[in-house]
Amino acid sequence: MIKLKRSRTQRTCYACGKDIEKGDQYGSMANVPGSSWTADSRPSEEIPRYAFQPFYGTVHMCEKCVEVKNDVL
Ligand SMILES: [Zn+2]
């Protein structure tokens, strides 16, 4: 369950790419490394090494996307 907070700065929604304006509700969550594709699925010589590094960090989502995400969780 992702809790909504009021944004003090302008952010961009990680899920839909929309701007989250100052004062809008937003949710943040830890970004778990994705499994969209792996080193085995593409020729490694064409892809820079960093592409395989998992991205850890906190992402921000707009109110709508948080609602959708909470429905799934
Ligand atoms: Zn969104």
- What pTM does this model have? 0.64
What is the CA(14)–ligand 1 centre distance, in A? 7
What is the CA(32)–ligand 1 centre distance, in A? 17
What the block records as the tokens of 18 is 């929309």
The pLDDT tens digits along the chain (73 residues) read 899 999 999 999 989 999 999 999 999 988 765 544 444 555 556 666 655 555 567 889 999 999 998 988 7
Taking a C-beta distance cutoff of 8 angstroms, is the pair 6, 24 a contact? Answer: yes
What is the CA(57)–ligand 1 centre distance, in A? 17
What is the CA(50)–ligand 1 centre distance, in A? 26
Map out the domains of the chain as residue ranges. Answer: 5-36+51-72
Calculate the CA 22 to chain-centre distance.
19
